[in-house]
Structure 1
């Protein structure tokens, strides 16, 4: 297994609970993946918090502590992941400081080559390297002479002191970083090419996802009809704040769960701008013809789902061709966990994926792979996981799934093959499960 971030830890627990022997390689010196702000190659920044609530964000059998706030900060999330690894004795099987350079097919096995040149052969490989390491960097037409950086390089609000800042992007990170600019920059603006729906972090005093979970499970189309007017009532008219009107229905793009951006727009701390037309010197011209001067442009424009260790087997780097977002269709023994794009928090989805992969691997140890009915299903099953939504026609939303439809379908699959998708609480050290060993 490659990677010891959230997906890798979920996968390790699922394998360990089934007594499946494994080895886990992690290039960093600690668990946690992107949630470790000390990693200079990661996307984490000081003001980052979960956009899903702690109530609905933990792994099965191991909820986040009640002492955590509704939306934990990155240090609390990292602490949760570290305690999860300790509670299930996962670190004993992790080899830290080991970077993988390639995964190659060799007859009925896989050859994993490390960056130091050492190669080892395994029956199966699970890639859990995550999808937020390789920045998507668009071109800015013209000749901007100020500083341009991707948000991956951004860490602390003090970087904005004394500068005129433009944040480009419409994701949750773009909103967070623009709000950092509102409090620390000489001036702060955010450029969005289109309008989006904003979901406040709290509705009637409770986290938005908790509020939604307490209502009846309605079809997404019905939820759209009911929720869009509610959001207009809660957030007001976005055009009054300089934002563009959404050109799509709610849930058809990744959700923007943010309350502070609207607050700062209402107070004039941030200026809303449309897309960039071009730039000359330090002057940026926008698509509505307006211009402004900036010292720094932060491109909060997302990441590409690169899997450089095994790209040829995973498909296009923007959207890996994976059945249920984790099974390459024509590569027996290779899996990916943590590459799913959905309209909800990710940890519980990683957890379900891990249990599905572990159940399949457990079964493969008892019969020939080609004889397993799930093997044929991987090749040919193409379920509709949109829940009736028409997702936006953009690279990010290629392969996007509705979380409710996805988890419902995984539950159906798990019942068919008898692979439970949840874990119980950790055992005491005195009755821990079997010790796993490396497989070569």
Structure 2
């Protein structure tokens, strides 16, 4: 599978999705350049990459058994849930093993990518310009912090900043700390505050379920994906909400709101340590913030706490800053794409990594990259059929699920339904499903070990 002699792809970003795209293009024999503004690959998993939101205690929320690149399992000596250093080293070893560094230009970002007469004119940060037939935006979604607004925040005498600026637990020493936001990074950081701050508070607007990382001694995603069953003599509820509630208990005991939605209708919050700290009084749950008054925060229930530091774990805005925003259709801050990767209007424009689902990401990115590469190389009738699908096909990628009404969930997909839709598309065009042998010919050694 190769494109025409004038086919050359520009891939922006050498995090996991960009590297997966690079390996797929290399496998397909499609010419490309990969640009990374940082001094090495790894994306957010290198906290020295300016703007990375990674903090010292950051670990994967999916296990190593489901979160690896096809054909490149994580080392056996890695824990079930690797930390950021291990993930950074794993990603870089992956890039080396498949020869991806040879096609990556480091320390050079992309300033602009403009569509001119059907070709992409790409201007680099050093002023150089190159022309490409196709553009893959793989710059990731956790680089542009979303900061909320509250009455009185401008007059708050303490320190207030986004959680993306946080790195070390020592930042909490000697302070009364409030974490606003109960998502995965919010509760992780709240656990750091619980152990290090003079007083720690966690503010949440609604009721969520906090899911343990292990179920009956097995990593959560392994238990779910492999149809796990409880040990002999134990009967577990089949409904996921009931199972989680049985394992974790009544959250209202800790001052947290009762979950107001089914477990699978929201992005999973995989953290059991926050319950431990609530159990031991190391942190106090609070409701929504109503306003700031001087050195204090007033909550929706009228209670008030003096606070030295507020971290807003309030998510990130989706952004592709080097492309004219008008080239995408946007809904609630997210670009509207066919199968969450293909532009519906511009046949040569793709986005890899702007997708949310309750599953490990890297295998899905590989499957998406396979279809992007196929589209890049397609000609004639195949290209026409693909273009028609991109314009008009409206597959159900939610599988009948009703997700909570937040911007994050606007484009959320049900992972098994999404995999089925991708499989149907592969079958329609005669593509083989990926497996752990799909990229073997690119490997530089018969067996590769990550140096840790």
- TM-score (ref. length: structure 1): 0.93
Q: Report the secondary structure of 1:292's partner residue.
A: strand
Q: Report the secondary structure of 2:281's partner residue.
A: coil
Deviation at 1:368, TM superposition (A): 7.1
Match of 1:208 in 2: 220
Q: Report the secondary structure of 1:361's partner residue.
A: helix
Q: Contact 1:171/1:256 (CA < 8 Å) preserved in 2?
A: yes
Q: Does 1:350 align with 2:365?
A: yes
Match of 2:329 in 1: 315
Count of aligned pairs between the two proteins: 423
CA distance in 1, matches of 2:197, 2:37: 35
Among candidates 65, 81, 86, match of residue 96 of structure 2: 86
Match of 1:29 in 2: 39
Shift of the 10–186 alpha-carbon distance from structure 1 to 2, 3 Å rule, reads same
Alignment map for 1:181-192 (pairs within 5 Å): 181-192=193-204
Match of 1:388 in 2: 400
* Structure 2 unaligned residues grouped into runs of 5+: 1-10, 230-235, 447-452
CA distance in 1, matches of 2:407, 2:146: 11
Alignment map for 1:361-440 (pairs within 5 Å): 361-364=376-379, 367=380, 371-422=383-434, 423-425=438-440, 427-429=442-444
Aligned-residue Cα RMSD (Å) equals: 1.8
Deviation at 1:353, TM superposition (A): 1.1
Q: Contact 2:13/2:139 (CA < 8 Å) preserved in 1?
A: yes
- TM-score (ref. length: structure 2): 0.90
Among candidates 293, 303, 316, match of residue 280 of structure 1: 293
Deviation at 1:418, TM superposition (A): 2.4
- Bigger shift: 158-167 or 411-420? 411-420
Q: Does 1:62 align with 2:72?
A: yes
Shift of the 90–32 alpha-carbon distance from structure 1 to 2, 3 Å rule, reads same
Match of 1:116 in 2: 126
CA distance in 1, matches of 2:401, 2:356: 14
Match of 1:135 in 2: 145
* Structure 1 unaligned residues grouped into runs of 5+: 218-222, 432-440
Deviation at 1:105, TM superposition (A): 0.9
Deviation at 1:77, TM superposition (A): 0.7
Match of 1:259 in 2: 272
Q: Contact 1:55/1:70 (CA < 8 Å) preserved in 2?
A: yes
Q: Contact 2:240/2:264 (CA < 8 Å) preserved in 1?
A: no
- Bigger shift: 176-185 or 57-66? 57-66
Q: Contact 2:123/2:129 (CA < 8 Å) preserved in 1?
A: yes
Q: Does 1:234 align with 2:244?
A: no
CA distance in 1, matches of 2:37, 2:313: 25
CA distance in 1, matches of 2:372, 2:145: 28
CA distance in 2, matches of 1:206, 1:363: 43
- Bigger shift: 199-208 or 101-110? 101-110
Deviation at 1:318, TM superposition (A): 2.0
